[in-house]
Amino acid sequence: MALVDSFIAIDLETTGLKCGSDKIMEIALIKYENGIDKDKFTTLINPGVAISESVTGLTGIDADMVKDAPYISDVIDEVWDFIGNDILVGHNLMFDYSFLKKAMVNSGKSFEKYGIDTLKLARILLTDLEHKNLDYVCRYFDIKDDNHHRAFNDARAAAELLYKLYDKFGEEHDDLFKAGKLEFKVKKEGPITAHQLERIRGLLKKHGIEPDYEPEKLTKNEASRKIDKIYLQYGRL
């Protein structure tokens, strides 16, 4: 078995590590065919929530950069069309897949994909390497990644890492480079209801709260948690 001819290298930057509560703030997709990058889709995303100083320090992405960017719902159809039937490749791929699948499901799309995780390969094949994070492994293979923790650079680095790993280990461990089914279950979250939006706006106004999120962009479950948090801290209307 040879390495797959065509794939999409993917990387996301997010406001945090929890798919259930954190949001996408940058997405990069690069289509590779026979070792050549043929096309790309990359954009900043307005997450609709605050970006912490620690995340800005790590990624360089701040609120000003995303304030005029599209929301994930605005570009999800383009992302869907770009990926098509290709498999996905990424470093710690399940992280990116979980966030993207949640966005897909919330938009009414089924998103069942196959993929190759270069982090998983590194853990199996580079047992003597002290660390397996993308930056460290790229330095080991002399892969250039000038702007680590930005989506496009990390997506491209993951693709180059896949080729490096296959060149070094593919002949002996060909079976490890087969794409596997990505398993992640997520339920569709409905948008905030009119009643919830009215309630949140009333609570924010009464208590003089300046929110670090956009109420109208909350899901139904997120809105419920926000309302409960305000009740707990300030009391009911």
Residue 168 near residue 191 (C-beta atoms within 8 A): no
Q: Which residue has the tokens 């419920």?
A: 224
- In order along its 237 residues, the chain shows pLDDT tens digits of 579 999 999 999 999 999 988 999 999 999 999 999 999 999 999 999 999 999 999 999 999 999 999 999 999 999 999 999 999 999 999 999 999 999 999 999 999 999 999 999 999 999 999 999 999 999 999 998 677 789 999 999 999 999 999 999 999 999 999 999 999 999 999 999 999 999 999 999 999 999 999 999 999 999 999 999 999 998 775
Our CA dihedral for 41, 79, 148, 63, rounded to 10 degrees, sits at 100
38 three-state secondary structure? strand
E-strand ranges in 80-205 read 87-90, 114-117, 180-181
Residue 140 near residue 118 (C-beta atoms within 8 A): no
Q: Whole-angstrom distance between the N-terminal and C-terminal Cα of the chain? A: 65
H/E element, 43: strand 36-44
